[in-house]
A and B are shown apart, each in its own frame.
Chain A
Amino acid sequence: MTGHRNPTRRRAVGAAVAATALSLVVVATAPLTASAAVGRKSTTTAADPYANTDLHAPAATLTGAGSTFDQPFFTRAFYVYHQTDPGLTVNYASIGSGGGIAQFQAGTVNFGATDVPMVATDLAKDTGGPALQVPIDLGGVAISYHLPGVGSALHLTPSVLAAIFLGNITMWNNSALKKLNPKINLPNQPITVVHRSDGSGTSYIFSNYLSDVSPTWLSKVGTGKSLNWPVGIGEKGNEGVAGFISGTPYTIGYVELAYALQNNFPAAWLLNKRGNYVKPTFDSVAAAAASKPNLSATNFPIVNSNGANAYPISGYSWVLVYQQQKDATTGTALVDVLDWLSHAGQKPAKALGYVPLPPNIQQLARTTLLKVVGPDGTVLLKK
């Protein structure tokens, strides 16, 4: 039955192929003309046809994209939120802060998430008007190492840490290290520095700290998510760095606090600004955050902060939202879930190794969200 019996159908198939081909070409060439042409159409509402019977709980699907740091927290928190409010589904794609910012600017997601706030010049590129940045979670960076038989006893000062990562201290039995750690039998072995190979907010916070404490680091390397590292090898992700450190003696590197806590990794004591040696813990990172109440998206670093018990390598992650929402229903759902995330939602954060936001920062998140308005200019958050 392979006959040539239906030429019209053939032709129809041919036309369909042609149409598909054409649309594929359009898709393929679209990004090079203007990605904004894709448009803001992701504000899908009313996914559930029965949800509209209850006007107070309109069904909505929100999409977000960005930071991989936030991903475990968001996945857990949005799941918890969905249990209490089944009308709302939040899809979060952890494509990295850079990707999140790009998607947000193109208007293809309802919110973006980034480990480092956007600067004003980048905010100006947004297609959807002025954007707001909301602090959403808090983390620290632990200095981890592999010295057989030492445990979590290593003590470091900012200048020694910078010297190690600059390649100026290359041996474990260097006199400066010996002086800080008289009780440890430091081996006569070269130090292998391990850093992140992928662009990451963890690297940003860590380099931000080193830039703050070391003028040499500031001028030579600087602060960023991807750096021109003077020494060491790169491993992908916290798991890559941690895995290499645990498998290779005489290494030192930095991992996210959550990762270090969950895996019970050795973490060095670090001398803070007030002259106290501090270990990275929930409390010491929270102390660092609390010592900077006047946080804003333009004045956001909390590294090397002034608290007596503050751990000096800490930082926030941020969520990006447009100040004027195109759709009141979606916008309301968005500010509601973000307000919950920055308050009650911090509980699941702690279980996952994130440091809960201090009360004053929770308040800052709320005052920022109160600036979000609907298409007609009314404030969407009812708090």
Chain B
Amino acid sequence: MSSSPSVPRSGTATGVRRVLAVSDRTYRGGLGIAATLFVILLIAFVTSLAIKASPAFAHFGIGFITGTTWDPVHAHLGALTFIVGTLETTLIAMVLAVPIGIGTALMLSHLAPLRLRMALGTAVELLAAVPSVVYGLWGLLVVAPWVRVHVDPFIAALFGHTSIVGGAQLGIGLLLAGIVLFVMVLPTMVAISRDVLAAVPTEVIEAALALGATRWAVLRRVVVPTARTGILGASTLAMGRALGETIAVTMVIGNTDRIPSSLFAPAQTMASVIANEFTEATEPYHLSALIAVAVILLAVAVLVNVVARLLVRSVSRQQSAVGIGVL
């Protein structure tokens, strides 16, 4: 500092204070602009989407959300098929990812030997870094034929003649999309759950052990309940990725604009129909309808996020009320 000519070597106290005050103000102003910019960008983004989507909403009305026919040629467009497709693929992915993810996270945080923990932990983080198109390619070229030959007949036999396993077994379809999504969201689920499980205070665990709890009882009744807010958060993030995933789903779901009648049936999600059709959407209302689908996708994602937040809040309140001693 002393070598700098622009700063008074031994300025008066007020001079220094003034310099500080100005730089503080500038600094705060800069940060304020950055924060405001973020909000303005978000508003501009949502508004522009809404404006571009409004012709479709105005023309089709509520039928756009309840309609199941997607016929761009005759300008008869309803998005329910895609809403269902998005929710169903996400559901399959989460049904697989939540138990397996929590199990893996428990293994990594409490059970595995230290060296294995680090190796497995790195592997999980690497999985999270794989681009989604690679998952899509792998799903289409490797998993789909395997699912067609091995998994589909097995599940068909497992569920017998219930209607959820009817139809042709092509490999690609609702089930494969769910499986690929599961693999894609698993790293998110595991990495965050592992961190929150590892953060459970040692004293709590030792207290439980001291009271004579078995290892299983400690994990089930102390560790997991203590970390459940964080696990819910992990699930929310994972679900967010599953809801919006586009390219990998497009490659493996079969892209058919019908509500899937079985686990093996091809389907279409909101993200995949947008990716599929927007480049050539020249028919009347088609482009506007695709943007309207984007608005619905955004709304569903926000809704799921809000519900998850409320759930987290109620769970954490319950937790603090009851305490963690639920042995």
Residues on A lying within 8 angstroms of B by beta carbon are 1, 3-7, 10-11, 13-14, 17-18, 21, 24-25, 28-29, 31-32, 68, 95-99, 101, 114, 116, 122, 190, 192, 197-201, 207, 221-229, 232-236, 240, 243-244, 247-248
Contacts and interface: CB of A to CB of B under 8 A. Distances in A.
A236 to B, nearest CB: 6
Contacts of A198: 275-277, 279-280
Nearest to B4: A5
B7 A28 contact: no
Interface of B: 1, 4, 6-7, 19-20, 22-23, 26-27, 29-30, 33-34, 36-37, 40-41, 44-45, 47-48, 51-52, 69-74, 76, 140-141, 144-145, 148, 168, 170-173, 250-251, 254-257, 266, 268, 272, 275-283, 286-287
Contacts of A10: 22-23, 26-27, 30
A224 B72 contact: yes
Contacts of B144: 247
B33 A236 contact: no
A13 B30 contact: yes
A224 B19 contact: no
Interface residues of B, dominant DSSP: helix
Given A4-B19, A14-B33, A32-B51, A200 B280 contact: yes
Contacts of B73: 207, 221-224, 226-228
B255 to A, nearest CB: 3
B70 A228 contact: yes
A229 B281 CA distance: 16
A361 B283 CA distance: 27
27 contacts: A5-B4, A7-B19, A10-B22, A21-B33, A24-B41, A28-B40, A31-B52, A98-B281, A114-B282, A122-B282, A190-B168, A192-B170, A197-B272, A198-B279, A199-B276, A199-B279, A200-B280, A225-B72, A225-B282, A226-B73, A228-B71, A229-B256, A229-B257, A234-B255, A234-B268, A235-B255, A236-B250
Nearest to B34: A17
Interface residues of A, dominant DSSP: mixed
B274 to A, nearest CB: 11
A98 B72 CA distance: 13
Given A4-B19, A10-B26, A18-B33, A32 B52 contact: yes
A68 B170 CA distance: 28
Contacts of B145: 247
A226 B95 CA distance: 33
Contacts of A32: 47-48, 51-52
Contacts of A224: 72-73, 283
Contacts of A247: 141, 144-145
